[in-house]
Structure 1
Amino acid sequence: MTELEEWDRLAKVVYAESLERADAVNLLNMAYTELAQNYDKDQSALKAVANESLVEHSLDLISNDELSLMLDIAAGTGNTALVFKNAGYKGICDAIDINATMLEMAKQKRIYRNAICEAVTGTDPLPVQVNCYDFVTVGGAFIENHLPQACVPHIINVLKIGGLLIFNSRSTEKNAKYREILLEILVGQVEQGRIALVRSVEAPYVNRECRETGKPMTALVSVYKRLE
């Protein structure tokens, strides 16, 4: 297995290189099904540290006891929740992901109470109870053809008052426009008094030279608190 092969597989979904038609969501789902068996090994080979960075910059802020509730959105194979658990998170984890194959692999890690196979959209409420979760994580899915930016208000709705939205967003040229719109929506929610920014840190994402820049990839790790 070569690094080129690993980047080629991940490029199908991470960079959405083949998703230019109107049925992008269906194509993405099929691409993740093909990717699932190699996903964890590819992430390791490419020295992905996105989840470690996410946990490093948020674990001290979360509610962390046996009754704490975490919702892992776009959970994939479960690595975000697994890193939280390995770092000392004591609470309960639920997951949402569009891809059944990825989610089945996540279930095998035995970290989730509930694992829901459903798409997160910009128009529909999340398929979980509102005002329920102590924190929500979005690890790596705030990119084009993955989660629509308009899902942010729906994510906020499932948090308890005082609950946290924890996510990363790649600092790359290809992700610049998507992230600009995402931040505009977040600012709008701040201005409405629904959330407040708690932390924003540039952190490592992949510790190997990426195709876009020839340098290790970084991402903005952000934490917002629900106010009302």
Structure 2
Amino acid sequence: MMPGPPYRFRAFLLLLICLIPLVTTAQNRKKKDYVVSVTTDYGPMTLVLYDQTPKHKDNFIKLVDQKFYDGLLFHRIIESFMIQGGDPESRTAVAGAALGNGDVGYTVPAEFVPTLFHKKGALGAARDNNPAKASSGCQFYIVQGRVWDEAGLQKQIDRIKSMNGHVPTPEQQQVYKTLGGSPHLDGNYTVFGQVIDGLAVVDSIAKQARDERNRPQKDIHMRMTGKWVKKKKISKQYGYAYPQ
């Protein structure tokens, strides 16, 4: 029988094998991105997740891969503001029950990035009133917002400045006055992704009838799948420009 490799060599091989998945993931993130497909009762949406918010991105990918969101509801909708989902208690909730307090037992540290703001289609992390502004481990919202005129936007900016000193850049203000959004959330909630296809679905969900708790009177279900796609293909197919 041939003698086995020396112990140190075997240990090195084991370490190398363990590192291969990490190298593959790093290569994936350089050339590819994780595209999330959301199926709803009002049509499909496609999302990308920002590399600038890695903790939120990794957490959301984990939950999508685990099929965590399949069968959950958009449990809170406010037209001209946002649609919210991800409460695990919504999977088996009876009609009219209060929702929004379900979680996965952990939070995600806030990742505020000034270049990521609450324009229409922004994917944000819901949270409670914790002082660190840490995000829910599972609940999220998608911004519908509204288009702001100069006077209305200035009131929003003054409100933000009084809360956290944040002021949207001139470029961001222009987006709020054309595409629209919810600027008062900037600097208070983490934005970690964007709808790149299916904004009309957000509009359709947001306008549905709701009760006094803003829960839709008719349940709106979701299902999510994700896959790694070349970034060049994403940009070509959806006209999406990656943030610099």
TM-score by length of 2: 0.24
Higher relative contact order (CA 8 A, sep 6+): 2
Decide which structure has greater strand share.
1
TM-score by length of 1: 0.25
